[in-house]
């Protein structure tokens, strides 16, 4: 026993030094083995009758591309606004998105009907789309705690959050049969509150008003790039899971109008609170895209263009007010330091939902 212990003691410092690599190696190998055992290509695509018919793939691929750009480029650069965390944001964003894709294909697969019946996970482009949705959820949580965790903590966060959000999704969509086209409930609300819970646990007084928690000129130019890629591709995300052409069409137009209304409302409200009447770039970069969250759940069902325009406008106003009043309040009173102000962007969904039921 003594020899064994001494051998472990010799190895231990190496494990500590390389703990990130060791954890990642174990996780990645486990994922590869699980893929080998359980995951195979969806056989529907291999049937000879469908082989020459590109219609289904044609109606999926552009939405998949748009969602992918939103996750890997939009989110990455939107979170690159902190002066000293540009590299970290972009690289951790990429790592967590990839890790989530692997992990959520497995988690979602274990909840699927196919797995219950034949014991394999069928992989198709819809599963990759859903995996991108899970990445969005993890990245929103990451945004709330940006600059507070180490890489290994982010990885552990991902390993916990993905099964939790997938189980919630299963509950919301399959058990409760709630319509959630753009995944606003399971992606944005879950991601935001998971991140906020984490932030409560990890925030300390020292971190608020930290000198690094600010942006400089060209980092905001990169943040706006992220915002614009999210803005442009959000119709793809909200239309991605639609089934019929009519639903696709409606989801695209409603998301488009909601974002347009939200942008105009943001620019309208912004100068009221600025002493020198200039636009606040942090608010512009974040509040203009709140319209996409607001319309998310119901993008494929809203029947009147005015509703999506009005819903987006309300979302923009609430999001700006959140930055002005809520963020400082939460930071002061609850010690809740929300780096990206994501509660205002993704968490105000529930307030808006209630308003939309009234409307």
Q: What's the min distance (Å) between Cβ of 295 and a second copy?
A: 14
Q: What's the min distance (Å) between Cβ of 208 and a second copy?
A: 25
**Token output for 165:** 């959000």
Q: What's the min distance (Å) between Cβ of 15 and a second copy?
A: 13
Q: What's the min distance (Å) between Cβ of 76 and a second copy?
A: 6
Closer residue to a second copy, CB minimum distance, 120 or 331: 120
Closer residue to a second copy, CB minimum distance, 203 or 241: 241
Closer residue to a second copy, CB minimum distance, 96 or 192: 96
The answer to whether 276 touches 270, Cβ cutoff 8 Å, is no
Task: Report the C-alpha gap between 121 and 106 in whole angstroms.
Answer: 8
Closer residue to a second copy, CB minimum distance, 115 or 267: 267
Task: Report the C-alpha gap between 67 and 77 in whole angstroms.
Answer: 15
Residues 6+ apart with CB under 8 A from 70: 132, 136, 229, 230, 233, 234, 236, 237
Closer residue to a second copy, CB minimum distance, 39 or 351: 39
Residues 6+ apart with CB under 8 A from 304: none
Give the containing element (helix H, strand E) for 121.
strand 121-123
Strand duo 39-41 + 121-123: pairing = parallel
Q: What's the min distance (Å) between Cβ of 224 and a second copy?
A: 5
Q: What's the min distance (Å) between Cβ of 264 and a second copy?
A: 5
Query: Within 10 Å of residue 59's Cβ, how many Cβ atoms?
Result: 15
Radius of gyration in angstroms for the set of CA atoms belonging to the chain, rounded to a whole number: 21
Task: Report the C-alpha gap between 173 and 196 in whole angstroms.
Answer: 24
The answer to whether 293 touches 259, Cβ cutoff 8 Å, is no
Q: What's the min distance (Å) between Cβ of 255 and a second copy?
A: 11
Residue 183: exposure state from Cβ atoms within 10 A (0-12, 13-18, ≥19): buried
Burial annotation 60-88 (CB, 10 A radius, 16+ → b, else e): beebbebbbbbbbbbbbbbbbbbeebbeb
Q: What's the min distance (Å) between Cβ of 97 and a second copy?
A: 8
Closer residue to a second copy, CB minimum distance, 34 or 351: 34
Q: What's the min distance (Å) between Cβ of 62 and a second copy?
A: 5
Residues 6+ apart with CB under 8 A from 55: none
Closer residue to a second copy, CB minimum distance, 102 or 180: 102
Task: Report the C-alpha gap between 233 and 66 in whole angstroms.
Answer: 5
Give the CA angle between residues 301, 284, 161 to the nearest 5°. Answer: 60
């Amino acid at each position: 026993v003594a020899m064994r212990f001494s051998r472990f003691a010799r190895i231990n410092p190496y494990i500590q030094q390389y703990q990130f690599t060791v954890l990642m190696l174990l996780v990645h190998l486990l994922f590869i083995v699980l893929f080998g055992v359980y995951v195979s290509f969806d056989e529907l695509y291999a049937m000879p009758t469908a082989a020459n018919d590109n219609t289904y793939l044609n109606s999926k691929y552009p939405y998949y591309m748009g969602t992918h750009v939103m996750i890997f480029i939009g989110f990455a650069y939107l979170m690159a606004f902190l002066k000293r965390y540009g590299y970290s944001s972009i690289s951790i964003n990429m790592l967590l998105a990839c890790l989530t894709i692997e992990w959520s294909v497995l988690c979602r697969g274990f909840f699927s009907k196919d797995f219950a019946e034949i014991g394999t996970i069928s992989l198709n482009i819809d599963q990759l789309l859903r995996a991108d949705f899970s990445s969005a959820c993890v990245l929103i949580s990451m945004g709330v705690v940006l600059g507070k965790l180490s890489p290994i903590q982010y990885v552990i966060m991902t390993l916990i959050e993905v099964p939790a959000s997938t189980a919630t999704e299963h509950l919301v969509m399959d058990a409760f049969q709630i319509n959630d086209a753009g995944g606003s409930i399971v992606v944005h609300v879950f991601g935001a509150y998971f991140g906020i819970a984490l932030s409560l646990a990890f925030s300390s007084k020292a971190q608020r008003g930290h000198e690094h928690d600010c942006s400089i000129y060209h980092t905001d130019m990169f943040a706006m790039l992220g915002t614009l890629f999210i803005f442009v591709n959000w119709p793809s995300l909200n239309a991605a899971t639609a089934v019929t052409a009519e639903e696709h069409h409606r989801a695209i137009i409603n998301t488009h109008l909601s974002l347009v209304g939200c942008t105009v409302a943001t620019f309208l409200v912004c100068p009221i609170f600025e002493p020198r009447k200039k636009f606040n770039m942090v608010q512009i970069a974040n509040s203009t895209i709140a319209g996409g969250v607001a319309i998310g759940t119901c993008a494929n069902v809203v029947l009147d263009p005015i509703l999506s325009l009005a819903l987006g406008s309300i979302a923009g106003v609430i999001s700006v007010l959140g930055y002005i009043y809520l963020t400082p309040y939460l930071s002061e009173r609850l010690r809740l330091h929300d780096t990206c102000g994501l509660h205002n962007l993704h968490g105000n969904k529930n307030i808006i939902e209630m308003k939309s039921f009234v409307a």
